[in-house]
Amino acid sequence: MVKPQGIITPVITPMHEDESLNLQELRAQVNRQIAAGVKGIFCLGTNGEVYALSTEEKLTVMQTVVEEVGGRVPVYAGTGCIRTSETIELSLAAKRIGVDALSVVSPYYVAVSQDDLYACFSEVAEAVDLPIVLYNIPARTGNNIDYKTVKKLAKYENIIGIKDSSGNFDNTLRYIENTDPRLAVLAGNDSLILWTLLAGGTGAIAGTANVFPEIAVKIYDLWSAGKMAEAKAEQFRLRPFRDVMAMGNPNSVVKRAMNILGYPVGPARRPVSLSNSQAIDEALKKVLELYR
């Protein structure tokens, strides 16, 4: 069974200027992340613009990542859709491709109750024999996966953890304190990586690792070594970049930063490709100087 721990990178999906997939650069980014010491590659997450990809493109991205990783680290794939049946179909396809674990976001757009969420995740867990990491991102889905729902879902052995991108640290603490100690709780907000580890979490799925994988890995490695002051200093280093991310769509800002640093990952898909604005470019160039 996969054990989600350490820094897992929700890898971006590189594109050409016409917004078609750039699979060559995707392979390059996978290798860059593994060389930096991350403990997993997560494709088709929010940073991977899963919401903007067709089913065929999702399958292509999964296949490419699985091939390039070649078993060096676990591959996680985001397969959550609005319809439960579609989530199951995509999850079964992911298993055939060879991913190691699924990340399943709660249904979005449609209003759902906690009972609906429990039923949805239960059906997926029963239908797909792969480890599952639940994905809580209420700002994008419109609902928060309550810790009591997660506690009930822990009866499924293949539900192995949850990524909390709520930004509410008390919500993360509830998962750690009041669910099942077997479950891995992962930070989804990069400002909370160290604090989640100190509280009993196991790591982070860190979008900023696309830009600064070495910093994210250092936070985890220094924490593991008991070097709290050094780990805290590395955690604080992420704040200036995180502040610039708040100036626009975070995925777009991450991609723009990578382009500025010389990685040809292309634009984010419209309508969110707003990161070419002069103000964001100027802010990025200033803040990136802090990391040289």
- Per-residue pLDDT tens over the stretch 67-116: 999 999 999 999 999 999 999 999 999 999 999 999 999 999 999 999 99
Domain span including residue 102: 6-227
- Higher-confidence residue: 272 or 257? 257
Q: Can you tell me the mean pLDDT for 17-29?
A: 97
Q: Out of 58, 163, 218, 255, which one is annotated catalytic? A: 163
DSSP state of 15: B
Q: Helix crossing, 213-224 with 23-36: angle to 10°?
A: 30
pLDDT exceeds cutoff 90 at 272: no
Pair of tokens at residue 132: 């599952």
Question: Would you say 247 and 285 are in contact if contact means Cβ atoms under 8 Å apart?
Answer: no
pLDDT at 220: 98
| 113 CB-near residues (< 8 Å, 6+ apart) | none
Residue 1's pLDDT is: 78
Pair 45, 10: CB distance under 8 Å: yes
Q: 291 in a domain, yes or no?
A: no
Q: Which residues pair with 197 in a beta bridge?
A: none
Assess whether pLDDT exceeds 70 at residue 274.
no
Task: Please report, as a single letter, which amino acid is at residue 96.
Answer: R
Q: Quick one: pLDDT band at residue 276, thresholds 50, 70, 90?
A: low
pLDDT of residue 292: 85
- The dihedral built from the CA positions of residue 149, 150, 153 and 154, taken in this order, carries a sign that is negative
User: How many helices (H) does the chain have, and how many strands (E)?
Assistant: 13, 8
Structural domain includes residue 246:
no
Does residue 163 carry a catalytic annotation? yes
* pLDDT reported for residue 277: 86
pLDDT of 33 strictly over 70: yes
Q: 162 with 136: CB under 8 angstroms?
A: yes
The whole model's pTM is what?
0.97
Q: Closest Cα to residue 1, out of 182, 200, 205, 199? A: 182
Compute the average pLDDT of residues 205-213: 98
If one counts the domains in the chain, the total is 1
What are the pLDDT digits (tens) for 229-252? 999 999 999 999 999 999 999 989
**280 occurs within a structural domain:** no
Averaged pLDDT of the chain: 96
Per-residue model confidence (pLDDT) at position 50: 97
Catalytic residue among 76, 135, 175, 263: 135
Over range 147-153, report the average pLDDT. 98
Residue 139 reports pLDDT greater than 60: yes
Backbone angles phi, psi at 135, to 5 degrees: -130, 115
263 within some domain: no
| Residue 155 annotated to the active site | no
- Tell me if 259 is assigned to some domain: no
User: What pLDDT, on a 0 to 100 scale, did the predictor assign at position 147?
Assistant: 98
Q: 2 with 41: CB under 8 angstroms?
A: no
Is residue 50 domain-resident? yes
| Amino acid present at 47 | N
167 pLDDT band, cuts 50/70/90, is very high
> For residue 151, what is the domain's CATH number?
3.20.20.70
Task: Specify if 102 maps to a domain.
Answer: yes
Residue 185 lies in a domain: yes
